[in-house]
Amino acid sequence: MTKTEEAYRLMLTEYPDLLTAEQAAKILGIDRHQVYRMVDRGELFGIKLAGQYKIAKLRLVEFILGQVA
């Protein structure tokens, strides 16, 4: 099991696999508009689905691990 897979299994277990921008912002401790900008700049992988940004929890864990390393 990779470091990312292990962290994914242990981190953010109370959240669904597909996060809203608001949920991602809460986890990161930032404003949701910052999440939108991060997605637009390609810093955080997300997609716009039915008019709302969605961020895969796995991608958020990868982002967090990248910030810590």
Is residue 8 a contact partner of residue 61, using CB atoms and an 8 Å limit?
yes
Q: What is the set of domains in the chain, with CATH numbers?
A: 3-68 (1.10.10)
Contact 20, 53 (CB under 8 A): yes
CB of 42 closer than 8 Å to CB of 55: no
pTM: 0.84
Which 3 state secondary structure label does DSSP give 33? helix
* pLDDT tens, residue by residue, 20-59: 999 999 999 999 999 999 999 999 999 988 999 999 999 9
pLDDT at 69: 54
Contact 55, 46 (CB under 8 A): yes
CB of 3 within 8 A of CB of 11? no
